[in-house]
Amino acid sequence: MTSSPRLPKKAKATIEAEGRQVFASAVNAYEIALKHRLGKLDVGAALLQSYETDLREVGLIELPVSTLHALTAGSLETAHRDPFDRLLIAQAKIEGLILISNEALFDRCGVQRLWD
């Protein structure tokens, strides 16, 4: 999960830092599964087959979607329409987390983002 050449060095170092808690949202698994089913993600099958095991091996903590996350995502005052991203924004706001993402639109939604 951290071996992708698209993942910037700073983001990789943050994920792999000793003692740091890093969360993986259930939203990510949902988006991967859906995009794979729709034929929009060729590597989806391989990712999904070992997703939970890979999370544990890398030391990521699963972050489920709560009712509060869903309610917050649905009521966000933002032009961002992607339901997956809205849930990630809500989780980051509620849990006080930094998003690791190349999605620059997150910067306008009141959350911290790491990608460099």
Q: What is the DSSP string of 14-28?
A: HHH-TT---EEEHHH
By DSSP bridging, strand 113-114 and strand 99-100 are parallel
Residue 1: per-residue pLDDT: 59
For the segment 68-86, what is each residue's pLDDT rounded down to a tens digit? 999 999 999 987 789 999 9
Burial, 87: exposed, middle or buried (Cβ in 10 Å; 0-12, 13-18, 19+)? buried
Q: Which pLDDT band holds residue 45 (cuts at 50, 70, 90)? A: confident
Mean pLDDT over each residue of the chain, to the nearest integer: 91
Domain boundaries, the chain: 15-114
Q: How confident is the model at residue 29 (pLDDT cuts 50, 70, 90)?
A: very high
Nearest CA to 51 among 41, 62, 42, 40?
A: 62
- The answer to whether the CB of 77 falls within 8 A of the CB of 109 is no
Phi, psi of 40 (to 5 degrees): -100, 0
CATH code given to domain 15-114: 3.40.50.1010
DSSP H helices in 1-116: 9-16, 26-37, 44-49, 51-58, 67-75, 83-95
What does the pLDDT average to over 4-16? 87
Confidence class for position 96, pLDDT limits 50, 70, 90: very high
